[in-house]
Amino acid sequence: MGPHPAVAAIRLAVRRTLHDVLRDAAGGARSAPDGTGRPPLVLVACSGGADSMALASALAFEAPRLGLRAGGVTVDHGLQPGSADRAREVVSRLAALSLEPAEAVTVTVGRAGGPEAAARTARYTALDEAAERLGAAAVLLGHTRDDQAETVLLGLARGSGTRSLSGMAAVSGSPTGGPGAGRRYRRPFLAVDRQTTRKACMVQSLPVWDDPHNADPAFTRSRVRHDALPALEKALGKGVVEALARTAQLSRDDADALDAWALDAERAVRVAPPAPSPAPRGPAEGEEGTSVAHVTTDAGADTGAVLDVPGLHALPPAVRRRVLRRAAVAAGSPAGSLFARHIEEIDRLITDWHGQRAVNLPGRVAARRQGGTLVIRQV
């Protein structure tokens, strides 16, 4: 007799992800990215909750069968009494699953962006450092279909566009950057619901910890989980979570296509910088690898981009706004602080021009129309 359906579901999801990791590992060779000749190491980020404990159990079962090493990391945010003891307990549970290495990492959570964003930044920074130190080929995260639905709903509420509605990617790089972080994070459970992961833990007698922050109405995601989504299901019927998760995948496909189109369009609308004796950074004008024309100082510091207004005006709005956002970020505006309203204001310099002043953006970046060009640079 085979495993319980819930256990079979989580193992299948992890097995598919591990096959992808193997394909991505150093030219498909079954050796670690650090060149040691050992099998690749895959880590699971485990909080001790049902989702990540189910993920840890599935990784422990599947990895040896594919010739992979499996380990686990838990992050102690230090935000609740007894968090250090809880972290040690999670490490012991990971070790009991034969995950090696199994370790806890303590972080200090700042205040930038609010408590949820600050904790997330600290967590990913710690996971990045652990992955680099241990030479891990990938880090598995326990986000489920329910988490994806919540993310889409939050993006919808922010009105941030298609990319925000695309939710979390099954494979993503680190939000904090760093060497080797391009495809570090894998989310095997985006098509698995939270009920299945909890059931898998129960039938395997895995102890789980329910984070009280997940039920605290002070946190936005908690309100979405316990108030907004149940209200939607009550009003619209069952299936809202599945529909939102499906929307994420469709939106991601659309956003990827539009981003590729915008990259090509960005190259087409770049113009030579008007500054005297410019020293373009990177490849020479007209060569591949340059997305926009860069305005430089005598010292060669990158200060912005110059784009052709008629060329921008001819683009579809969805593509044009992506070009503008890319140019603003390249000029030094922090992506996390650049909102739809900022891009709309820049867009009006192209589509509704009547001599208005420059648009000030986060990061001391300004977008200014100068005749037939749009100049985006730090000021």
Looking at residue 286, its pLDDT comes to: 33
Question: What residue numbers bound the domain in which 360 lies?
Answer: 270-378
- Rounded Cα distance between 147 and 194, Å, is 8
Task: Indicate whether 126 pLDDT > 90.
Answer: yes
Residues 55 and 143: beta-carbon distance below 8 Å: no
In this structure, the answer to whether residues 11 and 84 fall within a common structural domain is: yes
Percent of residues, the chain, with pLDDT higher than 70: 86
Closest CA to 346 of 192, 27, 329, 336: 329
At 120 the pLDDT is 85
pLDDT at position 295 over 80: no
- Within-domain flag for 88: yes
Among 255, 289, 310, where does a domain finish?
255
pLDDT at 332 exceeding the cut of 50: yes
Compute the distance between CA of residue 296 and CA of residue 300 in angstroms, rounded to an integer: 5
Residues 235 and 305 in one domain: no
Kindly report the three-state secondary structure assignment for every residue of the chain: CCCCHHHHHHHHHHHHHHHHHHHHCHHHCCCCCCCCCCCCEEEEECCCCHHHHHHHHHHHHHCHHHCCEEEEEEEECCCCCCHHHHHHHHHHHHHHCCCCCEEEEECCCCCCCCHHHHHHHHHHHHHHHHHHHHCEEEEECCCCHHHHHHHHHHHHHHCCCHHHHCCCCCEECCCCCCCCCCCCEECCCCCCCHHHHHHHHHHCCCCCCCCHHHHCCCCHHHHHHHHHHHHHHHHHCCCHHHHHHHHHHHHHHHHHHHHHHHHHHHHHHECCCCCCCCCCCCCCCCCCCCCCEEEECCCCCEEEEEEEHHHHHCCCHHHHHHHHHHHHHHCCCCHHHCCHHHHHHHHHHHHCCCCCCCEEECCCEEEEEECCEEEEEEC
Query: Tell me: the pLDDT tens digits for 346-363?
Result: 999 999 999 999 999 999
Q: What is the pLDDT of residues 230-241, one digit of tens each?
A: 999 999 988 999
Average pLDDT over all residues of the chain: 86
How many CA atoms lie within 13 Å of 75's alpha carbon, on the beta-carbon side? 23
Verify that 140 and 289 share a domain, yes or no.
no
Q: Is the pLDDT of residue 285 over 70?
A: no
Planar angle of CA 257, 244, 189, nearest 5 degrees: 85
Quick check: is 263 in a domain? no
Binding residues for ATP: 47-52
Query: What local confidence, expressed as pLDDT, does residue 27 receive?
Result: 60
Same domain for 210 and 274?
no
| pLDDT for res 31 | 46
Distance separating alpha carbons of residues 167 and 133, to the nearest angstrom: 29
Based on the fold, state whether residues 91 and 219 are members of the same structural domain. Answer: yes
Choose from 21-25, 138-142, 211-215 the range with maximum mean pLDDT: 138-142
- Write out pLDDT tens, residues 49-90: 999 999 999 999 999 999 999 999 999 988 788 889 999 999
Domain holding 313: CATH number?
3.30.465.60
Residue 36: the pLDDT is 62
Does the reported pTM lie above 0.85? no
Whether residue 34 has pLDDT greater than 80: no
* Residue positions forming the annotated binding site: 47-52
Question: Is there a domain that residue 265 lies in?
Answer: no
CATH number of domain containing 238:
3.40.50.620
Same domain, yes or no: 146 and 276 = no
Higher pLDDT, 371 or 141: 141
Q: Domain boundary residue among 204, 227, 255?
A: 255
Gap between the Cα atoms of 332 and 302, Å rounded? 9
More confident call, 33 vs 156: 156
pLDDT at residue 179, rounded to an integer: 56
Task: Summarize pLDDT for 180-198 with one digit per residue, the tens.
Answer: 567 899 999 999 999 999 9
Nearest-10 Cα torsion for 105, 110, 115, 119: -20
Q: Which of 189, 224, 255 is the last residue of a domain?
A: 255
Is 120 within a domain?
yes
Please name the residues in contact with 64: beta carbons below 8 A apart, sequence gap of 6 or more.
70
Say if 262 falls within a structural domain: no
pLDDT at 33: 54
Range of lowest pLDDT (323-327, 338-342, 360-364): 338-342
Q: How many domains does the chain have?
A: 2
With beta carbons less than 8 A apart as the criterion, state whether 131 and 106 touch: no
Better-predicted residue by pLDDT, 220 or 289 = 220
Q: In this model, does residue 296 exceed pLDDT 50?
A: no
Residue 7: pLDDT band with limits 50, 70, 90: very high
Asked whether residue 323 carries a pLDDT value surpassing 50, the answer given is yes
**Same domain for 242 and 274?**
no
Q: Is the pLDDT of residue 282 over 50?
A: no
